[in-house]
Amino acid sequence: MKNKLFLAMSLVFGMAILPAKAQVKIGFINADYILSQMPEAKQVEEDLKNTQKQYETLYQGKVKDFQDKLAAFEKLSADPKAADIIKQDKEKELQNLQTSIQEFQQNSQSSLQKKQAQLLQPLLKKVEENMHAVANENQYTYVFNYDAGMGTAPILLHYPTEANISDLVLKKMGITPKPATQAAAPAAAPAPAPAAAPKKK
């Protein structure tokens, strides 16, 4: 009987001295919301717009060159005195120009996307560093990015408002948070999408 009582007391005492399970505190940030309020983001957006404008100007120049040569080719084709070999050479030149325009369109989109990623990288690093600082100061165990998966549906479907530490991160960076409706447009600019490459008539 004494052995059973001793065993029971030992179990209770042992449970009492077990360390309490660490509390898990989960938060999240809205990275796009934070980026939209960073002063540096305005310069990134401006740089992207300028680059996009340069690409569009070059694209329109190529299109005009194609259209001018297409008009000359059509005039040449209507001339019965023009040699067939000249017509064939001009037609081949038009085909090469059309291919060049299509390649430029694809390459300019890829180039702008790469530049966007390059310009945003230091901003995202700054957000990450300040997020870690806020999480450590406020004892958050895990922090998620609300914007992740937004191409289909947000990962976070329900959460307490205090779990959103986006404003704390902004304040950590010395930025006074503004309501989402007053925030500047996100720094990420869309890739250029000029009209389709011209086709010969």
Asked whether residue 3 is domain-assigned, the answer is no
Asked whether residue 76 is domain-assigned, the answer is yes
The total domain count for the chain is: 1
Asked whether residue 39 is domain-assigned, the answer is no
Asked whether residue 107 is domain-assigned, the answer is yes
Q: Which residues of 130-165 are buried (b: 16+ CB within 10 A; e: fewer)?
A: bbeebbeeeebeebebbbeeeeeeeebeeeeeebbb
Global pTM value = 0.67
Asked whether residue 6 is domain-assigned, the answer is no
Domain residues for the domain of 132 are 47-177
Asked whether residue 52 is domain-assigned, the answer is yes
| 201 residues of the chain, pLDDT tens digit each | 444 433 333 333 333 444 445 588 999 999 989 999 999 999 999 999 999 999 999 999 999 999 999 999 999 999 888 899 999 999 999 999 999 999 999 999 999 999 999 999 999 999 999 999 999 999 999 999 887 765 555 667 667 888 889 999 999 999 999 876 544 434 434 434 433 434 544
For 46, other C-beta atoms within 10 Å of its C-beta total: 12
